[in-house]
Chains A and B, each alone.
Chain A
């Protein structure tokens, strides 16, 4: 059973990705507040959380504006994810945006940055000596980021699709170069199998991205540079299949499609890696949008993301090999029938 170990490894990595990536809970976060603008005077605030335990012991809450604190005058927990907080908002806060911080014995410190637009700015307020709290060492959770929330798990499925596609297309280019050098139809068949398998991953990447966009951006598709690049990358290889389909003569087909595949690969790399950097993009990882890079301190996502990438790439190579073997058998079969 030589050569079996990496297939086993791929299976295990993807099982690990599916189980840990989907089962790990998100950390606690405040997802909604009843108002988004505060003015001096009494304030009754409804706070909704996700994965929080507002009804646990030592509940505290305070506003933070330019590191000055306004403590809550009263806190009533309604449920684990819903509480009422009362403030007496003073006049003269210094900054435009005010953060909300809550604390309890189970979740530790939970912050919603820039939660409130602040009216009646001034030169600062009298300090309130309220009791703060530190963030606790929590159980194994993923970060719960604004807007991304549960969809952060798509990182383990959507992003590796593109890595796998690029890997398979690189194999396709390698086989195309070999096909041009050796005039071998075997190499040409391998290149076509690699591109075909890569396209499957490209389409899956588009689908997973589109579903994610529906949830977070409320649209299936936008004209974002990153999305344009992805669509063009897939389109190029669909054109490759059209080219293959339109040349009946095998040797000529091998040569033409190898040339197009090499040319196309260089442009696909441009679409994926250069073009999105020329323009501002809404896509996570661009223009200051939350993504993987902002979690440099969070090794929990990495501990799933890297195995996921390796697992998907190995699965892609495995699928490519199977496809190529099937194509080889089919060619032999039809050759035998011809004779």
Chain B
């Protein structure tokens, strides 16, 4: 792990993304239009369980959308060029970090639009600090587990469908834990009860990132 290399790779990602502003726009548009469609269907939600489930469905698919493109750029020559410049381990760590930041921003945007359209009636009893902590941890978890999957799917080169097929069963435990934890947070349950889940999510992240760091170099070897 080389911090300077990772920082340089992060800067590169940022510069490339700034050139493709439409990508960010399409992500935000995706979230807003999904939330608005839900709003058309349900108007205002007061059931905590439904509110929670709907929110995570929106966030999950937004995450798949956002991460699917994270390795789409490297085709053939560009990947080889990057390979000569940086160690693949640093590449995957930088990409995971970048994706985590992306998803954290995306989840905050989602939460804001969601509360705006679907209402905050379900939040009456909620411990907002705990809910946001769970949400951010969940978003980081999605980035950690899905980055390697996105890389595999991009290398397989058979469209965005494969990413969902490969990724969905892998994120299931993370999703179960975050759904449960955020439901507890919305019900206003104490930190001590939820901390078990948060620890589990953290452990999942560590496992996923270390496996990615070990396996990714093999993925880039041709």
Interchain pairs with CB closer than 8 A, number: 80
Query: A232 to B215, Cβ gap below 8 A?
Result: no
Report yes or no: A262 in contact with B215, Cβ–Cβ below 8 A: yes
Most chain B CB neighbours (cut-off 10 Å) among A239, A263, A266, A271? A263
For B166, the chain A residues whose CB sits under 8 A away are: 239, 242-243, 260
Number of chain B residues whose Cβ lies closer than 8 Å to a Cβ of chain A: 29
Q: Please, which residue of chain A has its CB at the minimum distance from the CB of B145?
A: A267
A37 CB, min distance to chain B CBs, angstroms: 34
Most buried by B among A225, A252, A256, A274: A256
CB neighbours of A15 from chain B (8 A)? none
User: From residue B55, how far is it (CB to closest CB) to chain A in Å?
Assistant: 19
Known A-B contacts A246-B158, A270-B204; A255 and B169 likewise in contact (beta carbons under 8 Å) = no
User: Using Cβ atoms and an 8 Å threshold, which residues of chain A touch B219?
Assistant: 255-256, 259
A145 to chain B, nearest CB (A): 30
Q: Are A271 and B173 in contact (CB under 8 A)?
A: yes
Contacts of A275 in B (CB 8 A): 173, 176-177
| CB-CB contacts below 8 Å: A274-311 with B | 274-275, 278-279
Report A-chain residues with C-beta under 8 Å of the C-beta of B11: none
Question: B149: which A residues are within 8 A, CB to CB?
Answer: 260, 263
Interface residues of A, count at CB 8 A = 29
Which 6 pairs across A and B sit closest by C-beta, in order of nearness? A235-B169, A236-B169, A246-B158, A232-B172, A259-B215, A232-B169
- B residues whose Cβ falls under 8 Å from a Cβ of A: 148-149, 152, 155-158, 162, 165-166, 168-170, 172-173, 176-177, 180, 196-197, 200, 204, 207, 211-212, 215, 218-219, 221
27 contacts between A and B (CB under 8 A): A180-B218, A225-B176, A228-B172, A228-B176, A232-B172, A235-B172, A236-B170, A239-B165, A239-B166, A239-B168, A242-B165, A242-B166, A243-B165, A246-B158, A256-B152, A258-B218, A259-B148, A260-B166, A262-B211, A263-B149, A263-B170, A263-B212, A264-B170, A266-B207, A267-B169, A270-B204, A278-B200
Using A242-B165, A260-B152 as known contacts, list a sample of 14 further A-B pairs with CB atoms less than 8 Å apart, ordered by residue number in A: A180-B218, A229-B173, A232-B169, A235-B168, A236-B170, A239-B166, A239-B168, A247-B158, A255-B221, A256-B156, A260-B166, A262-B215, A263-B211, A270-B173
